[in-house]
Amino acid sequence: MSISKYPSQLSLPQNSQGYSSVLEYLIVKFPCINRQIWLQRMADGKVHWHDGSLIAAETLYRPQQRVYYYREVENETLIPFEEKILYQDEHILVAYKPHFLQVTPGGSFVNECLQNRLRRRTGNDSLQAMHRLDRETAGLVLFSTNTETRQHYHNLFATRQIHKTYQAIARINTGGNLTGQQWEVKNRLVRSEPRFITKSTTGIANSHSIIRCLEQSIDKALFELIPVTGKTHQLRSHMQTLGWPLLYDKYYPALQAESADDYSRPLQLLAKELRFIDPISHRAMAFFSNTVLSVNHPD
């Protein structure tokens, strides 16, 4: 059994939707975790409010209050790839995340995530990810290391002052020359079924990407992708929209049956660059991954 040292948290919605207790809400919120597990966690003191006071089975629902709980998984898979710290100062840390590693706890991963690995490595239990990458995606992630200045970095993302550049490999089915060409994709993305998949629908665009072809071989091409907005799976969906789903993508264009990770076939998507003006020092900051994606990647 793997138990997280660090609590996860959620905020109870303003509208209680008829839930009289916190327990009732948690059972519906997390359908894969049964009532007995929540009762045992509460009995063990592993569910509490922001001030540390414990939540029990009979604790009443409190709108907009934060609930803290500790994730548990029976058999946690160890991810055999290492993260790298590229930069660290008194306010931030920038790290490289390998393929297959979660950024934060989720699903069947508790301790095997980038955030908890870095907390153990640095000894800083308050270190927090400022954004996310899909587990299948490799690349740069920005962390706040200082709770007193964290809001300044949150604001960079809220006001779109963080500039990211990705690279990706996709299979192509054209005999023409794509190198040097650019496409701009704007559409409306919404949750599909299952909910971790997105789909394009009619309506006002809420997603926007700029995509360029950097290099191509006979049947594959290397693309540079710049997300103007940050919707879930936006880049993967937009590449599919252009007719070039990413190499080894298990979600698009069609959701594949669940299977064990194949470490020899990682999703060919990389968060390559991260740029911003630091809100504390006011210096221009730029970080780059030295990972190389190749159009000659064997199938």
SS3 content of the chain, % helix, strand, coil (to 5): 15, 35, 55
**Residue 198 confidence (pLDDT) above 70:** yes
Judge whether 297 lies within some domain: no
Asked if 13 and 111 sit in the same domain, the reply is no
**Residue 295 confidence (pLDDT) above 90:** no
For all residues of the chain together, what is the average pLDDT? Answer: 93
Q: Among residues 73, 98, 119, which one ends one of the domains?
A: 73
For position 17, what pLDDT does the model report? 86
Over the stretch 243-288, which tens digit does the pLDDT of each residue have?
999 999 999 988 898 889 999 999 999 999 999 999 999 999 999 9
Judge whether 26 lies within some domain: yes
Judge whether 66 lies within some domain: yes
Asked if 125 and 200 sit in the same domain, the reply is no
Judge whether 78 lies within some domain: no
Which domain CATH number covers 55? Answer: 3.10.290.10
Judge whether 293 lies within some domain: no
For position 160, what pLDDT does the model report? 93
| pLDDT (average), residues 110-122 | 94
Q: Among residues 158, 189, 205, which one ends one of the domains?
A: 158
What domain range includes position 125?
84-158
For position 1, what pLDDT does the model report? 67
Percent of the chain with pLDDT over 70: 99
Which domain CATH number covers 168? Answer: 3.30.2350.10
| pLDDT (average), residues 48-67 | 95
Q: Report the candidate in 67, 19, 72 with the shortest Cα–Cα distance to residue 41.
A: 72
Q: Among residues 108, 140, 158, which one ends one of the domains?
A: 158
- Burial (0-12, 13-18, 19+ Cβ within 10 Å), 128: buried
Q: What would the DSSP string read from start to end of 55-88?
A: --TTPBP-TT-EEEE--EESSPPPP----EEEEE
**Helix, strand, or coil (residue 158):** helix
DSSP class of 141: E
Asked if 167 and 193 sit in the same domain, the reply is yes
Asked if 169 and 284 sit in the same domain, the reply is yes
Total domain count, the chain = 3
Q: Give the pTM.
A: 0.86
Q: Which tokens go with 267?
A: 């999703």
In this structure, are strands 198-201 and 163-171 parallel, antiparallel, or unpaired? Answer: unpaired
Judge whether 79 lies within some domain: no
Over the stretch 141-188, which tens digit does the pLDDT of each residue have?
999 999 999 999 999 999 999 999 999 999 998 778 899 999 999 999
Asked if 128 and 241 sit in the same domain, the reply is no
Distance separating alpha carbons of residues 73 and 110, to the nearest angstrom: 7
Over the stretch 204-221, which tens digit does the pLDDT of each residue have?
999 999 999 999 998 999
Asked if 192 and 247 sit in the same domain, the reply is yes
